[in-house]
Amino acid sequence: MAYIIEMCNITKEFPGIVANDDITLQLKKGEIHALLGENGAGKSTLMSVLFGLYQPEKGIIKKNGEVVRIENPNDSNRLGIGMVHQHFKLVHNFTVLENIILGAETVAGGRLQTKAAADSVQKLSERYGLKVDIHARIADISVGMQQRVEILKMLYRQNEILIFDEPTAVLTPQEIDELMKIMKELVSEGKTILFITHKLNEIKKVADRCSVLRKGKYIGTVTVADTSMEEMSEMMVGRKVNLMIEKNPAKTGDVIARVQELSIRNRLTHKMVVNNVSFEVRAGEIVCLAGIEGNGQSELVYAITGLLQPDAGTIEMNGEDITHLPIRKRNEKGMSHIPEDRHKHGLVLDFNLGFNLVLQRYFREPFQQSGFLQYDKIYEYADELIGKFDIRSGRGSRTDARSMSGGNQQKAIVAREIDRNPDFLIAVQPTRGLDVGAIEYIHRKLVEERDQGKAILLVSLELDEVMNLSDRILVIYEGEIVASLDPKTVTVQELGLYMAGSKRGELA
């Protein structure tokens, strides 16, 4: 069979790292081809080469057997290659329509012609069931809808080779199912799809073949139907990975944190984003707040951690009302917070790793004495944490946080928050975008903490994580807790229905 796209012996270097090392990848027309690999294996880089964002140092690309030059996205577009990027490339203050036509505008008499474009986008969206409001601003729509915009962008350009770079990382199970359906439909129309994901079950579900990369090198291509998930993950990591978390039953203790009738109003739209929420977390349990992104969980966490003042209700920790305490006081009283956005809140990227590891402690002795920072003590402590938590970086505690890989940045935050030995640990999407190895590690750490009698509030969109890790599940929908579930008795499908708001439960 002829290949529609062949990437032959691609080598791409970045300063200090060979991201793609002599990689060959062949796509058959009409297949869904999965690309698997750990964080930093070079998947996005390879795709960026195919899409014309990067120029490889070595290697050639062929389409239908003919060598083609792809120097920029215009070239790839002409060749019918489209890409949904891992980090969406959407202009936040543009409308959906503007984003879709950007770069492929039609112009008459110097004027942008949006009418015709609007019609054809509308048609596309109906045909593939990609529901979007084309006049909404990107900033105002959900992540799921943003993804649909990205897909529409490709379809609008009539691309026939579609690259999806980790499209499911940000979707709910229902949305993932929908996406899979759409992908299958697209393939049935003769389009070819390259699909990047860390989730093996998804590969199992839709992909025909799967290529695996490891540390920039090509490991091999397998037929998905003939390969088990364990085999694939071993190819990817180079060792056996434990996909299930082993944990003992929870030994719960006192109530550590209690939230009562908490309400939060959005400052701009004045809509209720958190509505009369009450729950408690006990020592020795992991309570999971499950929900689709944008249902108030971020605001709820901000209120608990002090980044935002609630409009009504109280928050107690260890029996003390902390609703109006400043953030530092809460930290001092034993609250830890692994934030949702590691670059926005979690790290000062221009500080080095050592400085970041003492972000909530620099003012305490011995890191500080009479107002002066004690560098040696800070680095000593940092090195200790780096060792203990296996945080990898080029220059140890002196590495700029900015230059660290996402996975190791996340490890640093986890290390910092756990090492403060909190009574109450709030972990928001602690494994987002990480590879299985890193996920395994962080999950193990969280369970360890629980077993040491910490109260843990876990906020996650990943159903597997929710099911595996939690002792109790609270489902949040449109700012309200709509169900309190036991992970041992509820099924993933059911959980999905609660999260989507189509089912409400008894509140325990």
Partner 1 sequence: MKFSWKAYVRSDAFSSFMSSLMAIVVGLFIGFLVLLVSNPSQAVRGFGAILFGGLTDMKNLGQVFYFATPIIMTGLSFGFANKTGLFNIGAAGQFIVGAYAAVYVGVKWTSLPGHTHWMVALMAALLAGALWGLVPGILKAYFNVNEVIACIMMNYIGMYAVNYMVVKTVFDSLRNQSLRVAATAVIPKAGLDKLFITGNSPSSVNAGIFIAILAGIVIYVVLDKTRFGYELKACGYNRDAARYAGINEKRSIVLSMAIAGALAGLGGALLYLAGAGKSIEVVDVLAIEGFNGIPVALLGLSHPLGILLSGIFVAYLTVGGFNMQLYNFVPQVIEIIIAVIIYFSAFALLLKGFIQAYLKKKDRPLEEAKALAADAGSTEKGGGVE
Partner 2 sequence: MNTIYFLVQQTMFFSIPLLIVALGGMFSERSGVVNIALEGIMIVGAFSGILFINTFQAALPGQPILLLAILIAALSGMLISLTHAYASVNMKANQVISGTAINMFAPAFAIYVARMLRTVQQIPFMNQFRIASVPVLGQIPVVGDLFFTNTYLTTYLGFIILVLSWFVLYNTRFGLRLRSCGEHPQAADSVGINVVRIRYAGVLISGALAGIGGLVFVIPTSTNFNATVSGYGFLALAVLIFGQWKPSRILVAAFFFGLMKTIAAAYSGIPFLATLGVPNDVYKMIPYLTTLVVLAFTSKTSQAPKAAGVPYDKGSR
Ligand X SMILES: Nc1ncnc2c1ncn2[C@@H]1O[C@H](COP(=O)(O)OP(=O)(O)OP(=O)(O)O)[C@@H](O)[C@H]1O
Strand partners, 106: none
Contact characters 20-49, ligand X, x per CB under 6 A: -----------------x-xxxxxxx----
Its sign, for the CA torsion 60, 64, 69, 72, is negative
Considering the complex, what minimum distance in angstroms separates the CB of residue 425 from partner 1? 15
339 binds ligand X (CB under 6 A): no
Length of the chain (residues): 508
Considering the complex, what minimum distance in angstroms separates the CB of residue 468 from ligand X? 20
C-beta of 128 vs 367, nearer to partner 1? 367
328 binds partner 1 (CB under 8 A): yes
Q: Which does 392 bind (CB under 5 to 8 A by kind): partner 2, Mg ion, partner 1, none?
A: partner 1
Considering the complex, what minimum distance in angstroms separates the CB of residue 413 from partner 1? 10
Considering the complex, what minimum distance in angstroms separates the CB of residue 217 from partner 1? 13
Q: How far apart are CA 190 and CA 195, in angstroms?
A: 16
Q: Which does 126 bind (CB under 5 to 8 A by kind): partner 1, ligand X, Mg ion, none?
A: none
C-beta of 101 vs 413, nearer to Mg ion? 413
Task: Return the half-sphere exposure (C-beta side, CA atoms, 13 A cut-off) of residue 242.
Answer: 10
* Residue 343 DSSP symbol: I
Binding site for Mg ion (CB under 5 A): 44, 86
406 binds ligand X (CB under 6 A): yes
SS3 412: helix
Considering the complex, what minimum distance in angstroms separates the CB of residue 247 from ligand X? 26
CA distances from 225 to 2, 199, 352, 478 (A): 21, 15, 46, 39
15 binds ligand X (CB under 6 A): yes
| Strand-strand pairing, 32-37 and 192-196 | parallel
Q: How far apart are CA 151 and CA 162, in angstroms?
A: 9
End-to-end CA distance of the chain: 58
Query: Which residue, 85, 75, 101, 267, is CA-closest to 165?
Result: 85
341 binds ligand X (CB under 6 A): no
Query: Which residue, 361, 265, 256, is CA-closest to 308?
Result: 265
Chain centroid to CA 68: 34
Q: Which of residues 335-374 bind partner 1 (CB under 8 A)?
A: 337, 339, 344-351, 355, 359-360, 362-363, 368, 371-373
11 binds ligand X (CB under 6 A): no
Q: What are phi and psi of 386, to 5 degrees?
A: -60, -40
19 binds ligand X (CB under 6 A): yes
368 binds ligand X (CB under 6 A): no
Burial class (CB in 10 A: 0-12, 13-18, 19+), 111: exposed
Q: What is the CA radius of gyration of the chain?
A: 24
Q: How far apart are CA 211 and CA 35, in angstroms?
A: 5
| Strand-strand pairing, 286-290 and 472-477 | parallel
310 binds ligand X (CB under 6 A): no
479 binds ligand X (CB under 6 A): no
Considering the complex, what minimum distance in angstroms separates the CB of residue 30 from partner 2? 25
The b-or-e profile of 327-354 (16+ CB within 10 A means b, else e) is eeebbeebbbbbbbebeeebbeeeebbb
C-beta of 125 vs 305, nearer to partner 1? 305
Which residue has tokens 């996920």?
A: 439
Binding site for partner 2 (CB under 8 A): 14, 51, 53-54, 72-74, 77, 83, 85, 87, 89-94, 98-99, 101-105, 107, 110-112, 153, 268
The one among 77, 86, 352, 460 contacting ligand X by CB under 6 A: 86
Quick one: which segment of 118-126, 225-233, 377-385, 405-413 binds ligand X (CB under 6 A)? 405-413
Considering the complex, what minimum distance in angstroms separates the CB of residue 176 from partner 2? 24
C-beta of 45 vs 168, nearer to ligand X? 45
Q: Which residues bind partner 1 (CB under 8 A)?
A: 14-17, 40, 215, 305, 307, 326-331, 337, 339, 344-351, 355, 359-360, 362-363, 368, 371-373, 392-395, 399, 403-405, 408
